[in-house]
Structure 1
Amino acid sequence: MSRNRARLAAAGAAVALAVTGASGVAVADTAPAAPTGSAVVHENTTFLKDSAVNGLVVIPLPSATPSYDGTAGFSATFPVAGGSVNLPAYYGNVQLGGGLLFINVFTGKSAVFKQLAFSADTWQLTGVPVDGTAPVALLDPAGATTVNRAGTTQTLSAADLQVDAEGAQYVDAKLNTSFFKAGQSVGSFSLTFTAGS
């Protein structure tokens, strides 16, 4: 190989490496955007009063955001942390940030749930007990329910939110109470989910 050909080959290799490196940087800079949105669990004043009389408190854990209104009741907003869902077709799963702490102030017993999620397959809000690995169905959206889609954003609004039979049994056992019942009305539920790119 002549000296000129060797120089041209080396130059070509350098250009190829530079282009490959640049495109690698471009791919790293344009990582897919994560989904966004939030789920809001609203506890009405009736449920709040009944649970308080029985010494029961439910506290949202970070990164959930609590809010309270004397007339409307208590709400907790859980940010969307991942997932893929098709609400109108009833399939998929939305992972939520934050957690839930249930406390029985009379007995000192507690239950903590992490890895909260909403499953469109089963239409349930679930959580994994802090000392377990399998999700427990906690709450079920019910009543007048509206599902909408606009572009990449989907919304769900349920006028009623009920305690799931599995969640009632699990939490009652952990807190040493018999307060929670299957179908017990807690308040209402809403979810907004915008798909990532």
Structure 2
Amino acid sequence: MTRTSARFAATGAAVVLAVTGMSGAAAADAAPAAPTGSAVVHESTAFLKDSALNGLVVIPLPTATPSYDSSTGFSTSFPVTGGDVNLQGYYGNVQLGGSLLFVNLFTGKTAVFKQLAFSADSWAITGVPVGGTDPVALLDPAGTTDITRTGATQTVTAADLKVDAEGAQYVDTKLNTTFFKAGQSIGNFSLSFTTGS
């Protein structure tokens, strides 16, 4: 091999290594896929009627998706936006999209919660009040609960969904009402969580 041929071969090898290294770096820089799924909070018609008679409404804000059925009540779907959880081991949490606006139509008082999440550690749906930094436990899945796992997808369904004591106190204070009570049943809950890659 001549000196010129050797120089061309070395240059070619350097180019191949550089391209391979760059493609490896690009692959390493690619963000992993985010987890997917949704949490569904279902409010029973009994709870809806009770809260309406007391001038109280809860309005889901984007990116939550509300739906209503006259026979079964009001449901809101919150998309999974992040997190890592082991539902069967009761640890981790799931970040949820959307916000919740609580309104007392009689007093005009409001409370807004952002950064919604489901905490498997405390088994509660939490939200951070606007203007605050610490999450408040709002609702607790209860009753007959079924937890399953199929591949990367975990699901939980709870036959009952109760108002958490912390959430009841916080919302009652903000709205100037005494309607919300610890352990008050509002409906049921389900969550589907698929781990990202």
SS of the equivalent of 1:108 reads coil
> Between the two proteins, what is the percent identity of the paired residues?
69
User: Structure 1 length normalisation: TM-score?
Assistant: 0.94
SS of the equivalent of 2:71 reads coil
Which amino acid in the other structure matches residue 173 of structure 2?
Answer: A
Question: 1:80 maps to which residue?
Answer: 80
Gaps of 5+ in 1: none
Question: 1:16 maps to which residue?
Answer: 17
Question: Residue 151 of structure 1: CA displacement?
Answer: 1.0
What is the correspondence of 1:73-112 to structure 2 with a 5 Å cutoff? 73-112=73-112
1:99-141 deviations in Å (ceiling 9; x for gaps): 1000001111100000000011110000000110100000000
Question: 1:181 maps to which residue?
Answer: 181
SS of the equivalent of 2:190 reads strand
Question: Residue 20 of structure 1: CA displacement?
Answer: 1.2
Gaps of 5+ in 2: none
SS of the equivalent of 1:170 reads helix
CA distance in 1 between counterparts of 2:164 and 2:27 reads 47
1:53-112 deviations in Å (ceiling 9; x for gaps): 110000011000000011100000000011111111111101000010000011111000
CA distance in 1 between counterparts of 2:17 and 2:195 reads 36
SS of the equivalent of 1:181 reads coil
Question: Residue 176 of structure 1: CA displacement?
Answer: 0.6
User: Structure 2 length normalisation: TM-score?
Assistant: 0.94
Comparing 49-58 with 9-18, which one deviates more in the overlay?
A: 9-18
Question: 1:125 maps to which residue?
Answer: 125
What is the correspondence of 1:159-174 to structure 2 with a 5 Å cutoff? 159-174=159-174
